Structure 1
Amino acid sequence: MVLLEVLDTGPGKRPAAGEVPLVSVVLPAHNEGEGIRRALETIAGVLRACGVTFELIVVDDGSRDDTFAEVQEAAQRWAWVRGLRFSRNFGKEAALLAGLRAARGKAVITIDADLQHPPGVIPDLLRLWRDGARVVHAVKRDRSTDTGTARWRARVFNGLLSRFGRIDLQNASDFKLLDRTAVDVLIERLPERGRFYRGLAQWIGFAQASVPFNVAPRAAGTGKWSLLGLISLATTAILSFTSAPLRIVTLLGLVTLVFAAIVGTDALISWVLGNNAAGFLTLEFTMLILGSFIMISLGIVGEYIAKIYEELKGRPTYLVEQSVGFDDEPPAV
């Protein structure tokens, strides 16, 4: 594959409208004003060393700090910076989708703006792409920079989804390279709004490869993921890729049937032997078990109904309030 000359046209000057960069890099960002400039400079330096034309697309997911102001300033200085700002916080999955839709490159790299995904891995991603891989996953080899709680949450989350969703997400991350063919499939052929990017990138198939990396310390700021946010993402991921939770309802029904058979047999034996059947305590215990199983079953079914409801409403996945560096207005849904 012939490599193109590095593109850096100076402050304020835009590339020609028909010019297509070889590599697009998408950076979802939420309250990353402290470190976004450093991230742009670091990633651009790595791509220059690779000798490729490139663009960096920052998707500001409704930040409350000066993240987008920093992106606007960077876009005035460097022609390879483009930015989108959401009207509010729509979540990382929406930011990734917006970046993929806006990307023009023959290959698209998604990477976190806090530099915990080390840009030094990008040459390995490009090498495997040139060798024929359509999807290249950067897989976490070492999470020593995470807290023990964060490592435990990630292990439980990835383990559950790998087991029930039948896709291998052990140590998976959103740090990936996608060929243009894979990007087009993700944005055109998969219309669902409740998305789970790292799972979909595996689900689509094509020739895939992986590169291990060590999670780096944050360049600036603090982590943005809350426990509730992770639970919401895990719920979306599991419901999107497997119907296994619905089978739990059937399992609970079978457990209830077995429990009822045991209690009924005990009562029948007591009646035949002329003994008093177990009384109030047994009845109370039975009602509590049945009530718990019923509520759990309703909750599982309700989650699936809620996801169906969200899809049927057809609301936009995100809304773009501002953009910078685009010749035309970027997609708003």
Structure 2
Amino acid sequence: MTVAHLIAVPPFVVAGPAPRDFWSRGQAAVEFTVVIPFHNPGASLRPTVERLAETLYAQNISFEMIAVSGGSIDGSEHSLADLPWIRVINDPDVRDKGAALQTGAAAAQGAWVGVVDVDGDAEVDPYELIECLHRARENEAALV
């Protein structure tokens, strides 16, 4: 099972939409932001990011990705440098995974925010993350 969560910002809650006026721009330019906090993930980072992007493109989901180093020293962020769909944040003040998550969520522009743990031993299943998005959309529609 993948460690993937769908959250809203702010505050962090499971499976809820972000307030539409959070960014003071009306509707979000992208529907879905995938935040990838990482700490020394090694060679697994790029293939995971590529699989996620391919699956999101195939599902026709408007998305952005934000990878944030949480004190990573293995240089793995350099493997993402040539990927145009991802922003990499490598701030020396971000010293752990929790701070990386907060930094990524603060930079998110999507109406929905998903978090993927690339540091764990479990394989990341992109369809599980997308399924969380679909369920969240359905729950929001049921509330309206």
Q: Is the 8 A contact 2:70 2:98 kept in 1?
A: no
| Partner of residue 62, structure 2 | 53
Structure 2 residue 47 is matched with structure 1 residue 41: no
| Partner of residue 6, structure 2 | none
Q: CA distance change for structure 1 residues 65 and 88 in 2, over 3 Å: closer, same or farther? A: farther
Cα drift, residue 71 of structure 1: 2.4
Q: Is the 8 A contact 1:39 1:114 kept in 2?
A: no
Q: Is the 8 A contact 2:33 2:108 kept in 1?
A: yes
| Partner of residue 132, structure 1 | 139
Normalised to the residue count of structure 2, the TM-score between the two structures is 0.69
**Structure-1 separation of matches of 2:38 and 2:106:** 16
Q: Is the 8 A contact 1:25 1:55 kept in 2?
A: yes
Residue ranges of structure 1 left out of the alignment (5+ in a row): 1-18, 135-206, 208-333
| Partner of residue 193, structure 1 | none
Aligned CA RMSD, in angstroms, stands at: 2.4
Give the structure with the higher percent helix: 1
**Structure-2 separation of matches of 1:47 and 1:70:** 20
Cα drift, residue 114 of structure 1: 3.9
| Partner of residue 119, structure 1 | 126
| Partner of residue 82, structure 2 | 73
Q: Is the 8 A contact 2:34 2:113 kept in 1?
A: yes
Q: Deviation string for 1:120-164 (max 9, x for gaps)?
A: 202311211211249xxxxxxxxxxxxxxxxxxxxxxxxxxxxxx
Normalised to the residue count of structure 1, the TM-score between the two structures is 0.32
| Partner of residue 36, structure 2 | 27
| Partner of residue 97, structure 2 | 92
Give the residue type in structure 2 aligned to 1:33: G
Residue ranges of structure 2 left out of the alignment (5+ in a row): 1-27
Structure 2 counterpart SS, 1:35: helix
Q: Is the 8 A contact 1:24 1:108 kept in 2?
A: yes
| Structure of higher CA gyration radius | 1
% same residue = 30
Give the structure with the higher percent strand: 2
Give the residue type in structure 1 aligned to 2:54: G
Q: Deviation string for 1:257-305 (max 9, x for gaps)?
A: xxxxxxxxxxxxxxxxxxxxxxxxxxxxxxxxxxxxxxxxxxxxxxxxx
| Structure ranking higher on relative contact order (CA contacts 8 Å, 6+ apart) | 2
Decide which of 112, 115, 126 is 1:107's aligned counterpart.
Answer: 112
Stretches of 4+ moved more than 6 A in 1?
none
